[in-house]
Amino acid sequence: MINVSKSLADELISCFGERIKVTEPKTGMVSIQVPVDQWIDVAQTLRDDPHFAFTQLTDLCGIDYLGFGQSEWDTNDASHDGYSRGVEGLGPGRFDWQNRPESEDMEQRFAVVVHLLSVTQNMRLRMTTFAADEGLPVVPSLIEIWASCNWYERETFDMFGVIFEGHPDLRRILCDYGFTGHPFRKDFPLIGNVTVRYDEEKRRVVYEPVEIEPRVLVPRVIREDSRYQADDIDQAADDAAETLARGIDQNV
């Protein structure tokens, strides 16, 4: 059993030392960042060591940090002019396929995040690693440690293009096999790259260029001010007048 006098973060530091980075966020779930070359070894220990016993992998997903921290909204200076004036420019994904930007060279662009559960210790843990090469992101597969990550890794490969080395059946799981690109990458256009429809004459599915224009949707905001209060007063007056008229008719 885990030493109750120590927190999970302390136990992780005692076990792995400087091999990992440990953070304990406000949400209460401990997170660790693992170098990609230590990914398998750390995962194996977390599963097999009885101090941890993380025998269940509950989730695995990818993250693309391209454009991290950027915003297409100017929320400081434009609030008094309306939301439509708050758009600074087109954010990640708001471009067409022909004019898509080239992905910039950056360290730690693609991450893989795993959530683990220890039933015996009643603990949860978040484990993250970054692919070494953003041009060809490769991360070792965890399928030999937790078989439940099979389809999760396929989905991450499909959506983000992360290659899981050692996966026995790494192929698309949501997109067509001939699909171009990876939809969850920040340099993939939100409008897609083709339009798919069924052609009655050709009696097959056809692919055509996208005709949608990338734009920022401006939300409609309802404010509780005198304009709406006036409408409520008028409606209440109309209701009162109608009620009074019915009462007079009944007395007559």
**pTM recorded for the entire structure:** 0.73
Percentage of the chain lying above the pLDDT 90 cut: 48
- Site of tokens 């409408």: 231
Give the tens place of pLDDT for each residue, 92-134.
Answer: 666 666 666 666 667 789 999 999 999 999 999 999 999 998 8
pLDDT for the residue numbered 248: 64
Mean of pLDDT over the chain: 82
Most confident of 6-15, 148-157, 241-250: 148-157
Per-residue pLDDT tens over the stretch 197-206 = 899 999 998 8
Phi, then psi, of 154 in degrees rounded to 5? -65, -40
- Contact status, residue 111 vs residue 132, Cβ threshold 8 Å: no
Q: Give me the pLDDT at residue 212, please.
A: 77
Q: What are the structural domains of the chain?
A: 8-66+103-189 (3.30.460.80)
Mean pLDDT of 1-16: 76
Burial 141-158 (b: 16+ CB within 10 A, else e): bbbebbeebbebbbbbbb
In the structure encoding, which two tokens stand for residue 116, read together?
């683990």
Q: Is the confidence at residue 37, as pLDDT, over 90?
A: yes
